[in-house]
Structure 1
């Protein structure tokens, strides 16, 4: 796989309502590192270019949805996005890139912190003192 195979140029299509999402979404995506953005107002599309080892389309779309943007949810759009997500995941797997954690990482951090934090019926008393009668 060549370096050119890892450079992706995609289009993110937005829903008709609410109107005016394209300029706001383009501004938001421009704040991300290593993402080139090209708004196309007439087509309700934001063109994005990125290196696959840095970003995936699924990650960028998730970022936008978390910010409250509405992507186009027609059947064709959903199928196209699902195919692109699968292809990008497969390419990352084939080059041996580490698995990227999306959304779940923050939740897992809280779970790990909770497991390490003494809570509940934790008792620092040595066992021999607890059994003393």
Structure 2
């Protein structure tokens, strides 16, 4: 069920609480009803595989929708840490998407300046001593 992937496509596994049984299938159907989200329940597991595009959709928004719809997320410490890290990474990625692209077409100018600038990459050791050390 892999959709077309690009640099803004995100894939996450949303861990649900094991009770009630069958919750993952219902949650996957619910997420599939949202625009731009592809979800699939994993076999015999309270886990959902989700694909979506940044910045139109975020994991935090998907989890919030699941909670408001009555689904129960796994609230173990490890799951909370994983979710917090994913939320932070998505926040950074979205803020980076807001930065305008730089014009790098004429990068030869930068290469020329770098070659002329003393940047510490030159070894002052004489050539005859470099061969023996």
TM-score (norm 1): 0.67
The correspondence of residues 2-41 of structure 1 with structure 2, limited to 5 A, is: 4-41=6-43
Contact 2:18 2:46 in 1 (8 A): yes
Q: Distance in 2 between matches of 1:59 and 1:41?
A: 24
Deviation at 1:27, TM superposition (A): 1.0
Query: Which has the higher mean CA deviation after the structures are superposed, 11-20 or 70-79?
Result: 11-20
Structure 1 residues 41-91: Cα deviation after superposition (integer angstroms, max 9, x where no partner): 422111110111210000000000001100001111000000000000111
3-state SS in 1 of match to 2:80:
helix
Q: How does 1:1-133 map to 2 (within 5 A)?
A: 4-96=6-98
Is the 1:22–1:41 contact (alpha carbons within 8 Å) kept by the matching residues of 2?
no
SS in 2 for 1:76: helix
Segments of structure 1 that go 5 or more residues without pairing to the other structure are: 98-133
Instruction: Assess if the C-alpha contact under 8 Å between 2:13 and 2:48 holds in 1.
Output: yes
Larger Rg belongs to: 2
Deviations 1:24-50 (A, max 9, x none): 101111111111111114221111101
In 2: Cα distance, 1:4 partner to 1:38 partner: 19
Structure ranking higher in helix proportion? 1
Which runs of 5 or more structure 2 residues have no equivalent in the other structure?
100-133
Answer yes or no: is the 8 Å Cα contact 2:31–2:37 preserved in 1.
Answer: yes
Root mean square deviation, CA, Å: 1.5
* Structure 1 range deviating more: 33-42 or 86-95: 33-42
